[in-house]
Amino acid sequence: MTVLEARMVDATHLELAEPIDLPPGRRLVVSVLEVDEQAEERQAWQAASSESLQAAYSDSEPEYSLDLVKEPNPEYRR
């Protein structure tokens, strides 16, 4: 399977971003998905969020024992 981007020329023609290695006349199945223009920015934000979470829950984070609890939460279930 080959995945590549194409530009819509008109309702029946696409311009491929790169050539594909198939003989002329070969029939293909084409699945159309619109490119998410904000996908790259979203991935950058997700990476930054992931780094922050990893830092917050890293191995250097101290362990807190139940002995340090001054007032138990009656709504908390173990």
15, 5 in Cβ contact below 8 A?
Answer: no
- pTM: predicted TM-score of the whole model, two decimal places: 0.43
For residue range 35-60, list pLDDT tens digits in order. 777 888 888 899 999 988 888 887 87
Q: What does the alpha-carbon distance between residue 5 and residue 18 come to, in Å, rounded to a whole number?
A: 8
Helix (H) or strand (E) holding 13: strand 13-16
User: Which residues in 46-75 are b (16+ Cβ under 10 Å) and which e?
Assistant: eeeeeeeeeeeeeeeeeeeeeeeeeeeeee
Q: What is the mean pLDDT of the chain?
A: 87
* 6 CB neighbour count, 10 Å cutoff: 14
